[in-house]
Amino acid sequence: MYKDEILVLREKSLDHGIELSEDQLGLFQLYLDELCAWNRRMNLTGLTHRQRMVFELLLDSLVPVPHLVETGRLLDVGSGAGLPGIPLKICKPRLNAHLLEANAKKVSFLKHVIRLLKLEQTEVIRGRIEKDEDSLHPEGYHLITSRALAPAGQSIAWCAPLLTPGGLLVTFMGGRVEHELEENRQVIKDHRLTIYKRIPYTLPGRESERTAIIFKRRVDNTLAV
């Protein structure tokens, strides 16, 4: 029997066009239970209330799901406790996922969760994107995610070169999204990115609007306007 917060996750996910299966709900239940248990022993997240974790960690990670590829290579940069990489892997099980994380204790948590949830084609890589590129897939990634990694411009500059042509970069921005986009217009252009999807949303219990921006790397060598 699922706990109430997982049933709420299913309900709120439907608002974003995401229908979670019984198997996926079970995986989210296990993941949330482990996240809470380990968080009592180490600082995986500053959140301690389970319902807030459901909304601000799990649901927040799922918002881009309807617009993402089903197959290919996923790189979750600065994965931390596995966000958004593990929720995306649960929803897109055919992705070949790499979770990049520098902190040894968080790496241990990620490896534990991957074993517990029996997530296939999922690997944890200990390292930092700015200096451990040699540890990553040499042919790049079809999908890259970064959540609270660094200021938007820096995240784009680190992640975009690892995208395959036509690959997607998922970023999460707050209420100043237009300012962020304008401020980083040149770095977006330099890395041949265009805005593929812009997803404004508000999380339950929060008044401030968030926006998920999905960039797409141009296939040709012409610069974006």
Give buried/exposed letters for 156-177 (b at 16+ CB in 10 A, else e). Answer: bbbbbebbbeebbbbbbbeeeb
Q: How confident is the prediction along the chain (225 residues), in pLDDT tens digits per residue?
A: 677 899 999 999 999 999 999 999 999 999 999 999 999 999 899 898 999 999 999 999 999 999 999 999 999 999 999 999 999 999 999 999 999 999 999 999 999 999 999 999 999 999 999 999 889 999 999 999 998 777 889 999 999 999 999 999 999 987 788 999 999 999 999 999 999 999 999 999 888 899 999 999 998 754 443
Domains by residue range for the chain, with CATH? 67-217 (3.40.50.150)
State the Cα torsion 10-14-18-22 to the nearest 10°.
30
- 127: alpha, beta or left? (left if phi > 0; alpha if psi -120 to 50): left
What pLDDT was estimated at residue 221? 55
What pLDDT does 192 receive? 96
Report the first-to-last Cα separation within the chain, whole angstroms. 52
